[in-house]
Amino acid sequence: MTIDTLTEKIGEYIKESDSFRDEVTVTIDRDAIIPVCCILKEDEDCSFDFLSDCCGLDRLPETPRFMVVYNLYSLKYKHRVRIKVPLEESDAEIESLTPLWNAANWLERECFDMFGIRFTGHPDLRRIITPPNMEGHPLKKDFPLEGSDTK
Amino acid sequence: MGVTKLGGATVITDSLDWITKWSQRNSLWPMSFGLACCAIEMISAAAARYDMARFGMEVFRSSPRQADVMIIAGTITKKMAPAVQRLYDQMAEPKWVVAMGACACSGGLFPTYAVVQGADEFLPVDIYIPGCPARPEALIDGLIKLQQKIKRDKVR
């Protein structure tokens, strides 16, 4: 996937773009995630039919603090794209991608578990890795290594 | 202990406690489960080279209801702890617990939010075996220490 093709398809949503060793990364706003992903999935030249990863990022002390990173793959064309969405700490919430890719279900649960980022419209936003009675979100950079609870 | 003739038969008499403990300690059947790298050493201890069978510990039981000893071989994560507790609760009395390796003894390398800091936080541990991971010789030594403990203590 080249930046030129991406600009042609979703240019109006792209805030920043970057290409490193043929890996293309685009940064978009939170509100654009659903329209952008719809285009990337449905468009004939893109057909990103596989959400290969979705993960969080804590950039403390920078602002905006969080980022959600989506890695898309097309089984048809064997090409990839990375989408980054910055999120403010005070409002770490983003639309869930489960309506587009079922793979998003557990990936978003992991992201919620580790960073506390909430995915609106997710069918089952529970913790997935840590125990249910756990307090806090362990991959946040200000999370104490030995845990916030003493037990 | 005494040997007497009763009719035509030779009868050995001893205290019931002694015989109970003798049979318990010479057929210590471990529960077959492992949590981390110590489990590999435990498997090795059971296999031909170290051969725990020499001491009556050969029968690793897959069912907790048939096991006498729980060898906690590895790191107990907080997510795994309820499952370990449940296995322990399902074992029939008398039962013993051996904490194998640094993680099971004290949390070991992992003083973190995700790891239970020692099996003794929620189970009554009888024997602690140090090592990271504990070698098969250490495990066998620990289980022999457990046999000595059973011999020494009150019958369970």
- pLDDT recorded at residue A149: 60
Helices marked H in chain A: 3-10, 33-42, 104-115
- pLDDT recorded at residue A148: 67
Which residue type, as a one-letter code, is found at position A77? Answer: Y
Q: Shortest Cα distance from A131 to chain B (angstroms)?
A: 5
Inspect the interface and report whether the beta carbons of B114 and A138 lie closer than 8 Å.
yes
User: For B108-150, how does the pLDDT look when each residue is reduced to its tens digit (9 = 90+)?
Assistant: 899 988 999 999 999 999 999 999 999 999 999 999 999 999 9
Q: Is the dihedral of CA B123, B129, B130, B135 positive or negative?
A: negative
Q: List CB contacts (< 8 A) between A144 and chain B.
A: 113
- Judged against a pLDDT cut of 60, whether residue B49 lies above it is answered with yes
Q: List CB contacts (< 8 A) between B112 and chain A.
A: 145-147
User: What is the count of residue pairs from A and B with beta carbons less than 8 Å apart?
Assistant: 23
| pLDDT in single tens digits along all 151 residues of chain A | 788 888 888 888 889 889 999 899 999 999 999 999 999 999 888 899 999 999 999 998 888 999 999 999 999 999 999 999 999 988 899 999 999 999 999 999 999 999 999 999 999 999 999 888 888 899 999 888 887 664 4
| Whole-prediction pTM | 0.81
- pLDDT recorded at residue B140: 93
Give the one of B78, B79, B112 whose C-beta lies nearest to A146's C-beta: B112
CATH topology of domain B29-150: Rossmann fold (3.40.50)
| B111 contacts chain A (CB < 8 A) | yes
- pLDDT recorded at residue A146: 81
SS3 letters across chain B? CEEEEECCEEEEECCHHHHHHHHHHCCCCEECCCCCCHHHHHHHHHCCCCCHHHHCCCCCECCHHHCCEEEEECCCECCCHHHHHHHHHHCCCCCEEEEEHHHHHHCCCCCCCCECCCHHHCCCCCEEECCCCCCHHHHHHHHHHHHHHHHHCCCC
- pLDDT recorded at residue A151: 47
Give the one of A130, A138, A144 whose C-beta lies nearest to B79's C-beta: A130
Give the one of B78, B111, B112 whose C-beta lies nearest to A131's C-beta: B78
- pLDDT recorded at residue B6: 85
| A147 contacts chain B (CB < 8 A) | yes
Sorted by where each starts, the structural domains of chain A and their CATH numbers stand as: 3-120 (3.30.460.80)
Q: Shortest Cα distance from B81 to chain A (angstroms)?
A: 10
